[in-house]
């Protein structure tokens, strides 16, 4: 059975004080009956604080990025071994903003996914299309290509350790949201691609999240879809109350 996962990507937001206050309020607001994995991804400087504040709770801590090597002359980078060392359990890989602003490619995404798995980190692998790609009729082939390239040489035994997040680029930070039907259509495409690459049993065990202006008002409808197992939440995860509303409205399969 695949997990319901509600993840919050904080991007480049929250000072140390804000990070502490938000995590404290989030932990206090959880009832213990959510039956979902809760993940937060603060900025790098506050990851140790986040790990400490979430010990013994249902909240897991993710990094927003990592290099695929353990060490080396890579100024500004952080390795998977370092993340594991401080207690981080998840890592977001291939977010559209990283691809656009930091020149990430399908090849580097693949290297990072493989490295994360090798270090016992759970990769949250992002994929998604632009509005031009959707309107140009290449959405499906683009998404399938991203999935196939990102999972190159990843064994069937490891695929269920990967979480996939579908993020329509045209709905990130724009206030636009894919309808539940649009989101489900793409998540179904992703699951069928996983079945083609591996098998149907493995595909059914992979958690697929929707990421694109997830809010309290649409969380239940989105997660009620058969192939959507939670959300990768952006701005709405920065306030504990808003994030808790999404968590509590998520449909647990």
Residue 213 marked ligand-binding: yes
Catalytic residue, candidates 67, 95, 104, 129: 95
67 is catalytic: no
Tell the residue number behind the tokens 């039907």, with chain if given.
181
Residue 11 marked ligand-binding: yes
Q: Return d(Cα 10, Cα 88) in angstroms, integer.
A: 15
Helix extents (H) in 42-155? 47-54, 80-85, 96-101, 106-118, 131-135, 139-150
Residue 237 marked ligand-binding: no
Could you say which DSSP state residue 179 is in?
Answer: -
Catalytic residue, candidates 97, 104, 129, 167: 167
Structure tokens at 192: 């069928």
Q: Return d(Cα 136, Cα 240) in angstroms, integer.
A: 38
**Packing angle between helix 240-249 and helix 216-223, nearest 10 degrees?**
30
Residue 136 marked ligand-binding: no
95 is catalytic: yes
Q: Is 14 exposed, middle or buried (0-12, 13-18, 19+ CB in 10 A)?
A: middle
Residue 234 marked ligand-binding: yes
Residue 173 marked ligand-binding: yes
Residue 253 marked ligand-binding: no
Catalytic residues: 95, 167
- Residues annotated in the binding site, as ranges? 9-11, 173, 213, 234-235
Could you list the residues known to form a binding site for substrate, using ranges.
9-11, 173, 213, 234-235
């Amino acid at each position: 059975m695949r997990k319901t996962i509600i993840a919050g990507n904080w991007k480049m937001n929250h000072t140390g004080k804000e990070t502490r206050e938000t995590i404290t309020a989030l932990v206090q607001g959880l009832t213990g009956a959510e039956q979902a994995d809760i993940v937060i991804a603060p900025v790098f400087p506050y990851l140790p604080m986040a790990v400490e504040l979430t010990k013994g709770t249902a909240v897991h801590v993710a990094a927003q990025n990592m290099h695929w090597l353990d060490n080396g002359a890579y100024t500004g980078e952080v390795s998977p071994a370092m993340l594991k060392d401080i207690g981080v359990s998840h890592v977001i890989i291939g977010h559209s903003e990283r691809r656009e602003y930091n020149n990430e490619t399908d090849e580097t995404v693949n290297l990072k996914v493989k490295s994360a798995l090798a270090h016992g980190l759970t990769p949250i692998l992002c994929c998604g299309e632009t509005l031009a790609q959707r309107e140009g009729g290449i959405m499906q082939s683009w998404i399938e290509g991203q999935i196939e390239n990102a999972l190159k040489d990843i064994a069937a035994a490891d695929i269920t350790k990967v979480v996939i997040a579908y993020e329509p680029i045209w709905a990130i930070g724009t206030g636009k949201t894919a309808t539940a039907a649009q989101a489900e259509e793409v998540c179904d495409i992703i699951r069928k691609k996983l079945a083609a690459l591996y098998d149907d049993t493995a595909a059914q065990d992979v958690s697929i999240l929707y990421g694109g202006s997830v809010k309290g008002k649409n969380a239940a409808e989105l997660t009620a879809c058969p192939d959507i197992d939670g959300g990768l939440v952006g701005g709405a995860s920065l306030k504990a109350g808003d994030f808790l509303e999404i968590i509590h409205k998520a449909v647990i399969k």
